[in-house]
Amino acid sequence: MSNNKSQTWTIEFILAFLIFSAAFIMSIKTIVNIYGNDDLSLVIKEAELISEQLTSEGYPSNWDNDTLIRIGLMSNGSLNPEKLNRFYNLNYNYAKSSFATQYNYFVFFSNSNGNLPLFYYANDSLTIEQGCGSGYNSIVKSYDTECKFDKSGLTYDDFVAMKRITVYNSTLVVLNIWVWK
C-alpha cells in the first residue's frame, strides 16, 4: 500500500511541476513582449518627429541649403513646390542629420487615385519615376499610371509607415513617411 501512495505523490508532483513551468514560461514571454520592443517605439517617435517637421514651414521659413536648420515643406498651410524641390535635391545624409535621426526614411505622396509623382509636378526637370519619392536611394521607384515602390531589397528590424493629410494646389494629398531601423 505504501507503494500506491508514492505513485500518487509522483504524478501530482509532475503535474504541479508542469503547471508551474508553463506559468513561468508564459510570464517570461509576457515580460519580454511588454518591455522587449523599445526599438519599435523609438522608430515610431522618429517617424512622428519627421512628419511634424515636414508638415511645418521649417526653419527659417524660406530655408535653402545654406540656411537650413529644420526641413519643412509647407507655406501658408499648403505644400510649397519650391520647398519640395529643395527637399528632393538635399543630400540624403544632410537631410537625415537635419531631421536629427539615425534611422532611414523615404517620403512620397498619394491621394485617392494612388501614389503621386508630386516631386515631378513641382519640378518637371525630374523624370516622372524620380518624382515619385525622396529619401533612401535603394528603394526602386517606377511609374505606369501611379508611382510604385519596390522595397524588397531593404533589410530592417523595425519599419514604420506614417501618413499625414496635407494640401497641394488646393487638393488634399497624403504625405507618406516610411522610417526604419
What would the pLDDT profile of 33-70 be if each residue is shown by its tens digit? 655 557 888 999 999 999 999 999 999 999 998 999 99
Do 60 and 147 lie in one domain? The reply is yes
Residues 84 and 170 in one domain: yes
Q: Are residues 13 and 97 in the same domain?
A: no
Residue scoring higher pLDDT (111 or 11): 111
Percent of the chain with pLDDT over 70: 90
- Whole-number pLDDT of residue 74: 97
Residue 175 and residue 55 in contact, taking contact as beta carbons nearer than 8 Å? yes
Instruction: Specify the DSSP class assigned to residue 6.
Output: H
For 164-175, what is each residue's pLDDT tens digit?
999 999 999 999
Regarding whether 50 and 98 lie in a shared domain, the answer is: yes
Same domain, 21 and 108: no
Are 25 and 58 within one domain? Answer: no
pLDDT of residue 155: 85
d(CA 126, CA 120): 6
Q: Which residue has the higher pLDDT, 132 or 137?
A: 132
Which structural domain, as residue segments, surrounds residue 18?
1-36
The three three-digit cell numbers of residue 20, written as one number = 508551474
> Do 16 and 2 fall into the same domain?
yes
Grid cell listed for 29: 514571454
Query: Does residue 140 share a domain with residue 84?
Result: yes
Same structural domain for residues 122 and 135? yes
Does residue 86 share a domain with residue 160?
Answer: yes
Domain count of the fold of the chain: 2
DSSP 61-98: TT--TTT-SB---EETTEE-HHHHHHHHHS-HHHHHHH
Are 2 and 78 within one domain?
no
If one compares 6 and 74, the residue with the highest pLDDT of the two is 74
**Tens digit of pLDDT for each residue in 80-123?**
999 999 999 999 999 999 999 999 999 999 999 999 999 999 99
What pLDDT score does 24 carry?
75
pLDDT in tens, 151-166: 888 888 889 999 999 9
Cell numbers representing residue 163 in the block:
501618413
Read off φ and ψ for residue 36, nearest 5 degrees: -85, -10
Predicted local distance difference test score (pLDDT) of residue 6 = 55
- In this structure, the answer to whether residues 161 and 109 fall within a common structural domain is yes
The predicted pLDDT at position 11 comes to 78
Q: Which three cell numbers stand for residue 93?
A: 545624409
Averaged pLDDT for residues 20-30: 76
Give the residue-averaged pLDDT of 129-147: 94
**How much is the average pLDDT of 134-158?**
92
Q: Is the pLDDT of residue 4 over 60?
A: no
